[in-house]
Amino acid sequence: MPEALIFDFDGLILDTEVPVYEAWRRDFLAYGHDLDLRTYSQCVGSTFGQFNPKHHLEFLVGNVIDWSHLDENRERDALESTHQLDPLPGIIPLLTEANEAEIPCIIASSSPRSWVESHLNRLGLMHHFAGTRCLDDVRNAKPAPDLFLAAAEFLAVNPSRSIVLEDSFNGLTASIAAGIPCVIVPNKITAHYEFNGAASVLPSLEGIGIDYFRELVRNSTPHS
């Protein structure tokens, strides 16, 4: 049995990444440039330390941009769009089953706690989780292992006998560095990655229960 399930948030529990990407793309199109998915996906699951759309657009147009108005509109549009979203398929049944089996669940997200917990409260999901570990809690976001290690430490569980659920390459890289088996559920933004090193790659969490993760932990644990 897994000692814990460690969930990413954006793109795994809630498909926030598509509306956020579309909001950024509108900024680029307003300046006569496009923002393709492969380029943007470099920052998915992390912060803009990996790829900064603002710096990229300023490079393309050849001058500094006044972002104040663009930021306000983009953030408003993204917030309005994400507030219409429901949890992705399979999330609620999996959380319910994990809770019934007394397997602790926790969020480990490179987003700020205010963003993550506002959505969890809106969706009525907060009670499923023992806690959250967010950008506010660590020095380094994904692809560094800090968030996943902080989550395992908070729960007092063995990282190697826990499971990370992720949608991004940055998240996979972080989980490998933390020594935690990772199940990847790609979305539209991250589907082009190969995700080498993942314990498994699933098209969806729909129909996936605790037995699936029990087998993953059993197969990933060295036998004496």
Active-site positions read: 8, 10
Element (H, E) at 118: helix 113-123
Sheet holding 131-133, edge to edge: 131-133, 105-108, 5-7, 163-166, 182-184, 200-201
Burial of 8 (0-12, 13-18, 19+ CB in 10 A): buried
Q: What are phi and psi of 10, to 5 degrees?
A: -65, 125
The sign of the torsion formed by the CA atoms of 141, 113, 137, 178 equals negative
Q: Helices then strands (H, E): number in the chain?
A: 9, 6
CB of 147 closer than 8 Å to CB of 108: yes
